[in-house]
Chain A
Amino acid sequence: MRKTLAVARKELRQAVRDPLSLLLLLGLPTFMLLLYGYTLNFDVRNVALAVQDRDKSARSRELIDSFTRSGYFDLVASLPAGTDLEEVTERRQARAILVIPEGYSRRIASGETGRVQFLLDGSDANSATAILGYASGIAAEANAELWHAFLRNAGRGSLPLIRYAPRVWYNPELRSTHFLVPGLIGFILMLTAVLSTALALVREKEFGTMEQLQVAPLRTRQLLVGKTLPYLGISLIATVLILSAARFLFGVEIRGPVLDLFAATLIYLIGALGFGLFVSSVSHSQAMAFQVGVITSMLPALLLSGFVFPIRTMPQPLQWVTYAVPARYYLVILRGVILKGAGLATYARQAGFLLIYAVAVLSIASLRLARREG
């Protein structure tokens, strides 16, 4: 125990001695949260809409109104007839164009179908899909009103209708930051924890001090625990910083028990640190450890965790791979505790997986590192 503490004290001194590395460990996570939090925004609002109203009737203005009233569209231009519509989207003047042809209101009045064209810039598929959804909704609503009016005029009174009243739970404004922040925490912690331990251990190898530790009566366990303990502490502090930043900058409140959140984070971090040890056992230099660490920790936590891309829509083989990505389980717990206010008990299965991962990766890493001692 005393030997472990001697190693931990030394490691902490080295980590704190260099202000740059400390800044990296504590500041980078918060910085990344800011960066990603503000840039990774999937919300589609205030879409620039141009309108070419060739009908110029009360009915056509009403349709345009229902688009702008929805809050999703901003009217940026009224295009006169004969405008090159393609140029408008090419110059990014507008992302969507509503074309109401001449005779639109006349056709409707005479009981025919009123045709309207909706042109959309589909180069960004994600937001285009969302915009298309909004536009269809607005059109459907306009149609329903039309029906109502038609029936009323025909003296038929009311029409049986489904009144559809959606209510969104946990993230009522459907703000993607609420959804993304937990993912970001998982991703950032994984990256910094893996890198800090991997680099710390490889540094000993590079400077030859590892040899000195190997001739000392120090067990592998004492060495590894001593070396990772400071980074566990630093990573927990980083977690507090990230959560505060999320709270004050993005308004993401933790609805569930904070203690449960930290318990899950602790298990997750132990796994991440263990993985860092593993990375160090396969690397010969700090540069190599850095590259291996970034690729093996960042990419899975970003792409295969359900952070950005839903796991359910992945091809089956890729879905199997995600079972080995700890961020996948951590994310479910984080979203549950932060957004839904659930406790860890609800996510016992995910916590169990995290624990299995931590134990497995730590065993493999310490076996690999112990074998080196010969």
Chain B
Amino acid sequence: MPVAVETVDLTKRFGEFVAVDRLTIAVEEGEVFGFLGSNGAGKSTAIRMLCGLLAPTSGSARVLGVDVTRDPERVKRNIGYMSQRFSLYEDLTVRQNLRFFGGVYGLFGRALVEREGWAVGMADLAGMEERLAGELPGGWKQRLALACAVLHRPRVLFLDEPTGGVDPISRRRFWRQIDEMAGEGITVFVTTHYLDEAEHCHRLALMHAARLVALGTAGRLKEVFAGSAVLEIGCPRVVEALSRLSREPWVREISVFGTRIHLVVSDVEEGMRRVRGILSEEGNLPVSVDRIVPSLEDVFIHHIEAEESRRRDDSGSGGR
């Protein structure tokens, strides 16, 4: 498969602050590539560099084989971009928005009318053409924004948190459309912090504090737990149990998920027995211990904690 998006040591600094630190990825054509991470992890900065909105401090980025800093115009013709802000003209109608964005991408005459019709159908906005974009509900606005972003048949679509502030039904609908587009060979590069959305992606990249900390399919990422198991523990005094159990050498990882504790151990039976023993001794009863299938969330917490401890070691030797 040819590569659609490729970065090598892509870095962006704002003064002292490093927003993206030596990011190296390769996204294949037709792939739905998920970019995950908490707010401020550097996802948006990375995507903005790929779209030519920001100039990289160092490193390189190529989209469809074209260097984004050398020939941004050529890149721009072949990409679509949509951000969480749904940049539409709220004081223009649905049709006027579509016409304008079509015109800006060089569509005119019959081609424009045809694509406009297609977009209205795709976004399910038939009958709403003369409504002002600002009057549309959130989910509709998002569909119009997506329609405007793909009007010119881009080969790569960049979506920066496209489902922020949109209701769950609209979100599901939106992802169905993304799946369809990927089926047509469009490469989709999407950032999100909704982990359920990550399941739609063929491959995932996890960013934490400007760095790429994990990359692979969801299944592959979960393999970090091969040879170990995740236990879910329920007990009345969660905080107390957390500090008590984290002192045990056989506990490989421990974290809180809501009112429960997730614990990574090598030996399932042995682990379950020890947890019960310790918590009963403490009087932290009733205790429930179950083995669970690790979720993506577990995977990410694992990676982020591993990265944090790596950095702590680094800073001991004067790094950062």
Inside 8 A of B101's CB, which chain A residues have their CB? 212, 216
The B-contacting residues of A in range 184-223, CB under 8 angstroms, are 207-219
Could you tell me if A215 and B79 are in contact, using CB atoms closer than 8 angstroms?
yes
Distance of A164 from chain B, by nearest CB (Å): 65
Please determine whether A216 and B104 come into contact, CB atoms closer than 8 angstroms: yes
Is there contact, CB below 8 Å, between A215 and B81?
A: yes
A163 at the interface (CB under 8 A from B): no
Of B83, B100, B105, which one neighbours A208 at CB under 8 angstroms?
A: B83
Q: Within 8 Å of chain B (Cβ to Cβ): is A45?
A: no
Q: Is the CB of B92 within 8 A of A215?
A: no
Interface: B54 (CB within 8 A): yes
A79 at the interface (CB under 8 A from B): no
Whether B250 is near chain A, meaning CB under 8 Å from some CB there, is no
Contact B52 A374 (CB under 8 A): yes
Q: Does B53 lie within 8 Å of A10, measured CB to CB?
A: no
Option from A5, A17, A212, A217 in Cβ contact (under 8 Å) with B87: A212
Q: Shortest beta-carbon distance, A254 to chain B, in Å?
A: 38
Q: Separation in Å of the A76 CB from the closest CB of chain B? A: 58
Q: Are B108 and A209 in contact (CB under 8 A)?
A: no
Contacting pair B91 A10 (CB below 8 A): no
With an 8 A cutoff between CB atoms, is A18 at the interface?
A: yes
Q: A residues within 8 A CB of B55?
A: 374
CA distance A373 to B54 in the complex (A): 7
| Pairwise interchain contact B92-A219, C-beta atoms closer than 8 A | no
Q: Are B53 and A214 in contact (CB under 8 A)?
A: yes
Interface presence of B236 (CB below 8 A)? no
B54–A374 touching, CB < 8 Å: yes
CB-based nearest B residue for A18: B91
A14 touches B104 (CB 8 A): no
Answer yes or no: A3 CB below 8 A from chain B CBs: yes
Check: B202 CB closer than 8 A to any chain A CB: no
Q: Does A269 contact B (CB under 8 A)?
A: no
Within the complex, the shortest CB–CB distance from A196 to chain B, in Å, comes to 15
With A14-B89, A14-B91, A217-B73 as given contacts, are A211 and B53 in contact (CB-CB < 8 Å)? yes
Cα A219 to Cα B106 in complex, Å, equals 12
Contact B90 A9 (CB under 8 A): no
Q: Which residue of chain A has the shortest Cβ distance to B52 in the bound complex? A: A215
CB distance from A134 to the nearest CB of B (A): 57
Interface membership of B96, Cβ < 8 A: yes
User: Min CB distance, A224 to chain B, in Å?
Assistant: 14
Is the CB–CB distance between A215 and B51 below 8 Å? Answer: yes
Whether a CB of chain A sits under 8 angstroms from the CB of B88 is yes
Interface residues of A in 1-49 (CB under 8 A from B): 2-3, 5-7, 9-10, 13-14, 17-18
Q: Is B303 an interface residue (CB 8 A)?
A: no
Identify which of B77, B87, B90, B99 gathers the most chain A CB atoms within 10 Å of its CB.
Answer: B87
Asked whether B185 is an interface residue with its Cβ less than 8 Å from the other chain, the reply is no
- Tell which of B53, B90, B99 touches A215, judged by Cβ atoms closer than 8 Å: B53
* CB of B76 within 8 Å of the partner chain: yes
Determine if B103 is an interface residue (Cβ-Cβ < 8 Å): yes
Does B312 make an interface contact (CB < 8 A)?
no
Which residue from chain B places its CB closest to the CB of A226 in the assembled complex?
A: B104
Could you tell me if A3 and B87 are in contact, using CB atoms closer than 8 angstroms?
A: no
Known: A216-B101, A217-B73, A374-B53. A17 touches B91 (CB 8 A): yes
Question: CA A215 – CA B96 in complex, angstroms?
Answer: 19
Residue in chain B with minimal CB distance to A222: B104
Is B105 within 8 A of A10, CB to CB? no
Once the chains bind, are A10 and B100 in contact (CB under 8 Å)?
A: yes
Q: Is B100 a contact partner of A6 (Cβ separation < 8 A)?
A: yes
- Decide yes or no whether B85 CB sits under 8 A from chain A: yes
A6 contacts B104, C-beta separation under 8 Å: yes
Asked if B104 contacts A218 (CB within 8 A), the reply is yes
Which B residues from 88 to 139 make CB contacts under 8 A with A?
Answer: 88-92, 96, 99-106, 108
CB distance from B41 to the nearest CB of A (A): 20
Cβ–Cβ contact B73 & A219, under 8 A: yes
Shortest Cβ distance from residue A334 to the other chain B in the assembled complex, whole angstroms: 35
- In the complex, are the beta carbons of A216 and B76 less than 8 A apart? yes
A17 / chain B contacts, CB cutoff of 8 Å: 91-92
In Å, the complex CA distance between A17 and B100 comes to: 15
Which positions 206-258 of chain A face chain B at CB distance < 8 Å? 207-219
Other 17 A-B pairs with CB < 8 A, given A3-B106, A209-B88:
A6-B103, A7-B100, A7-B104, A207-B87, A207-B90, A209-B87, A212-B101, A212-B148, A214-B53, A215-B76, A216-B101, A217-B76, A217-B105, A217-B106, A219-B73, A374-B54, A374-B55
Q: Give 7 nearest A-B pairs by CB, closest first.
A: A6-B103, A374-B55, A212-B87, A215-B81, A217-B76, A208-B85, A10-B100
Q: List 9 A-B contacts (CB under 8 A).
A: A6-B103, A6-B108, A13-B92, A14-B89, A17-B92, A212-B148, A214-B53, A216-B76, A216-B101
User: Which residues of B are interface residues toward A (Cβ below 8 A)?
Assistant: 51-55, 72-73, 76-77, 79, 81, 83, 85, 87-92, 96, 99-106, 108, 148
